[in-house]
Amino acid sequence: MKARFLVTGVAGFIGFHICKELLEEGYFVIGLDNLNNYYDVNLKKARLNELKKKSKSNFLFIKTELEDKKFLKLIFKKHKPQKVLHFAAQAGVRYSIENPSAYINSNLLGFGNILESCRNYPVEHLIYASSSSIYGGNKKIPFSEKDPVNSPISLYAATKKANELMAHSYSHIYKIPTTGLRFFTVYGPWGRPDMAPMIFTKSILSDKPINVFNKGDMARDFTYIDDVKKAVLKLINKIPEYSKNINSNESINIEKQTPYRIINVGNNKPVSLIRFIEVLENELQKKAIKRFEEIQPGDVKTTFADISLMKEVINFEPKTPIEIGLKEFVSWYRSFYRI
C-alpha cells in the first residue's frame, strides 16, 4: 500500500505542484489550506480545481486553520498520515513588516501544532518549508547550511529560523525525522502574485512602471518549480536517521542522536535583477517602464545557494535556466489570464 500524505498549504504555489505530482503517482493525499486572502483566492481555488481533476478519489481537501489544534488533532487521528509535507505559512518578507501577528500565528503557532500532531500520531517523515531569507545579511556566498544564521533581517526570516529550531528539538526529544528545505526564490507556472515574475509581467503588459529596488543592483538564485518538485520528491524517501546505540561512554553527540536535516534547494546560479527583467521583456516582446528605487527594509542584495549537500543526499541539481523557466511562466500566464 502506498504511503498516505498530508500536505499543508495545498492551494499554495509549492504545495500545489508537489500534491499534483503525488496524485499522479497514485498516492492518497489529505490537503489542508485556509484559503486566506493574502493574495488572489481565485488563483488558489483554480489550483484546487486542477488537483481535483488529477484525483481519482485519492484526494481529500480540508479547509482549516493550523492554529486550530483540536481540529488538526482530529485530522491526524482519523487519517493517520505517514508522511507530512508542511508548506503552509504566511509568506512574504515585506508583508511581515506590515502585519507581524499573521506570521506569529501561522508560522509559529501553526507549525507548533503540526509538530505536536506528528508527536502524538507518529509519522515516518516531516518535511517543511524554510527559506533562503534565513541567511539574512550574511556576506559569505554561496550560502551554506553550515553558515551561522543568527541575524534575520525580517520577522518572516525569524519565524523560519524558529521553525528549524523547533523541529530540531522535536527531532531530538521525540525522534521525529524532520527535513527543513531552504527554498531560494521559487518561480514558474501557477506562481504567486506577490512575487517578481507575476508583478513585473502584469505591470509590463499593462504599461505600468515596475519598481527596480536597490537601483537594480540585486541578484536572486531563481529556482524553477519543476526543479524544486524533483528535489522534494527525491527527499521524501531520504529520511534522516539517528544512531539508536550510542555507547554510554561516548561523549554526547547531538547530531548522531537527532534525525534532523536542513537542505538548501536552490539553482546555484544567481541572476541579476536587470538580466531577469531583460529575459522577461524578451518573452513578453515588450519593454518595461523601470522606476529605480532604494532597497526595501528586510530585503537582501544577493541570494546564492550552495547545493553541495543536496547533490550529496539525492544526487540532484537543478538544470532549468532562467530563459526556459520564464518562457514557461509567461506561456502559463497568457493562458491562465487569457491574454
CB-CB contact of 198 with 187 (8 Å)? no
Q: Where are the beta strands (DSSP E) in 235-295?
A: 260-265, 271-272, 289-292
Give the phi and the psi of residue 24 in degrees, each rounded to 5. Answer: -65, -30
For residue 29, give the nearest of 2, 51, 56, 7 by alpha carbon: 7
CA distances from 10 to 42, 89, 144, 159, 243 (A): 14, 11, 28, 20, 34
- Helix (H) or strand (E) holding 201, with range, is helix 196-205
CB-CB contact of 192 with 39 (8 Å)? yes
CB-CB contact of 209 with 199 (8 Å)? no
Using the structure block, give the residue that is written with the C-alpha cell 541539481: 317
Which member of 39, 103, 135, 156 is catalytic?
156
* Annotation says 135 is catalytic: no
CA angle (132, 198, 292) in 5-degree steps: 80
CB-CB contact of 224 with 324 (8 Å)? yes
**Residue 108 DSSP symbol:** I
Where in the sequence numbering do the catalytic residues fall? 156
